[in-house]
Amino acid sequence: MSLSDRNVLVTGGAGFIGSHLTERLLADGASVTVVDNLSNGDRGRVPDDAGFLEADLTEPDALEGHLDDVDLVFHLAASKHVDTDRPHGQFDDNTRMTRNILEAMADAGITEIAYTSSSTVYGEAPRPTPEDYAPLEPISAYGASKLADEGLLSARAHSHDLSVWNFRFANVVGPRLRGAVIPDFIEKLRDDPETLTILGDGRQEKSYLYIEDCLDAMCHVVENADGAMNTYNLGTRTTTSVDRIAAIVADELDLEPAFEYTGGDRGWTGDVPKMRLSIEKLAALGWEPRRSSDEAVRQATRKIIEELR
Ligand code: NAD
């Protein structure tokens, strides 16, 4: 299945990954409409040749009358941030969005959806974690919302005419990334070039995937996997520790700060300290990342330093 000449709806298309995906799909010859409530997105990132609908997807009627020409949905919209005043709010919002989108798609007769899940569905699993690892025991409301969404998608894929491409992402990095470890270190070092405070003990270790590799993998899976529920890990074969990220960021800024640690084995409650995904299933489908995890971090660091200059 080719993505050129498709009429695609990208939810969350004003966000980090969604805006890059929109550019990529347009370049490949698809027609794209973005829907986003701009809670964590930027209207300026949506290319002029994409349609744009500002709407809150937690509202049941958000897409009414807007799906007539759509034949494929890339569903990326999600709340990634925990609101401590509403502990279940993130779970409610993310699952409500996915349920609303599935209902709107069914009403409009759309039978294809690509969904952005996360490594967090695995919880603290042995590494490298394959797609058939069990039991799936997420340790955050965010991970729980991704797992619940996968369940909704699977149920519909196996009982209705729906094809699902379900991506379990590692940590995706690149230009436009905000609210994550790389831009956080850059901003901290701009404020204080002498000392960098690192959350946890610095030994947290995860797989980082560069945005271009991520988009290539997403398109490759949609174009080549043809089951009803196609679940794929998207990551690199290597990992990068938080200490190593700090060293790369300091190196790119030409600084030699002292590192201080807040302590403990993780950055925050619900953080999975060590994550690496098996990508053997993806490799068997004919795809390999072009960059290692360290290369992804360094390339993203350079781009984000330019953006924050
Ligand atoms: P992002 O926050 O930059 O993009 C998400 C977009 O969704 C934002 O533009 C936001 O405004 C929009 N949105 C949120 N709530 C909405 C609502 N109620 N209605 C309409 N739009 C809404 O995040 P991202 O990093 O680009 O992530 C995209 C997807 O990939 C998300 O589903 C995320 O959970 C998933 N993911 C990302 C990573 C990563 O490393 N960035 C890793 C695993 C999974």
Residue 142 Cβ inside 6 Å of ligand 1? The answer reads no
Question: Is residue 80 lining ligand 1, measured as CB closer than 6 Å?
Answer: yes
Cβ pair 244, 301 in contact under 8 A: no
Q: In whole numbers, what is the pLDDT of the chain averaged over residues? A: 96
Query: What is the dihedral sign for C-alpha 92, 95, 98, 102?
Result: negative
Query: What type of residue is 120?
Result: T
Q: Indicate which residue's Cα is closest to atom 4 of ligand 1.
A: 15
- Report the atom number in ligand 1 closest to the C-alpha of 171: 40
Q: Is the CB of 57 under 6 A from ligand 1?
A: yes
Strands 205-206 and 274-275: parallel
58 in ligand 1 pocket by Cβ < 6 Å?
yes
Per-residue confidence (pLDDT) for residue 292, from 0 to 100: 98
Determine the Cα angle at 176 with ends 173 and 178, to 5°: 75
Q: How far away, in angstroms, is 78 Cα from ligand 1 center?
A: 4
pLDDT tens profile 177-214: 999 999 999 999 999 999 999 999 999 999 999 999 99
**How far apart (Å, rounded) are the C-alpha atoms in residues 136 and 120?**
9
- Model confidence band, residue 108 (pLDDT cutoffs 50, 70, 90): very high
What's the rounded mean pLDDT across residues 234-243?
98
pLDDT digits (tens, 9 = 90+) for 59-78: 999 999 999 999 999 999 99
**Count of beta carbons in the 10 Å neighbourhood of residue 87:** 10
* 1: confidence class by pLDDT, cuts 50, 70, 90: confident
CB 79 within 8 A of CB 146: no
- State pLDDT tens for residues 155-166: 999 999 999 999
Indicate whether 2 pLDDT > 90. no
Closest among 26, 85, 94 to 57, alpha carbons compared: 94
Ligand 1, from 22, 24, 37: best to mutate by most atoms within 8 Å of Cβ? 37
Which pLDDT score is estimated for 308?
Answer: 96
Beta bridge partners of 11: 35, 75
Q: Please provide residue 108's backbone torsions phi and psi, each rounded to the nearest 5 degrees.
A: -90, -5
- The CB of 171 under 6 Å from ligand 1? The reply is yes
The conformation of residue 257, written as its DSSP 8-state character, comes to P
Q: Residue 46: is its pLDDT beyond 80?
A: yes
Amino acid at 265: D
* Ligand 1 contact, 52 CB (< 6 A): no
Give the ligand 1 atom nearest the CA of 38: 11
Asked whether the predicted pLDDT for residue 306 surpasses 80, the reply is yes
- Determine the straight-line distance between the first and last CA of the chain, rounded to whole angstroms: 41
pLDDT tens-digit readout, 248-280 = 999 999 999 999 999 999 998 889 999 999 999
Whose CA is closest to atom 29 on ligand 1? Answer: 76
Task: Decide whether any atom of ligand 1 lies within 6 Å of the 12 Cβ.
Answer: yes
Q: Which residues of 180-212 are buried (b: 16+ CB within 10 A; e: fewer)?
A: bbbbbbbebbeeeeeebebbbbbebbbbbbbbb
Q: Strands (DSSP E) along the chain, which ranges?
A: 7-11, 31-36, 51-54, 72-75, 112-118, 163-169, 171-173, 195-198, 205-206, 208-210, 229-234, 240-241, 258-261, 274-275
Helix, strand, coil fractions of the chain, as percent rounded to 5? 35, 20, 45
CA of 75 to the centre of ligand 1 (A): 9
The yes-or-no verdict on residue 42 having pLDDT over 90 is yes
Domains of the chain, first to last: 7-172+209-234 (3.40.50.720), 173-207+238-277+290-307 (3.90.25.10)
Percent residues over pLDDT 90 in the chain: 94
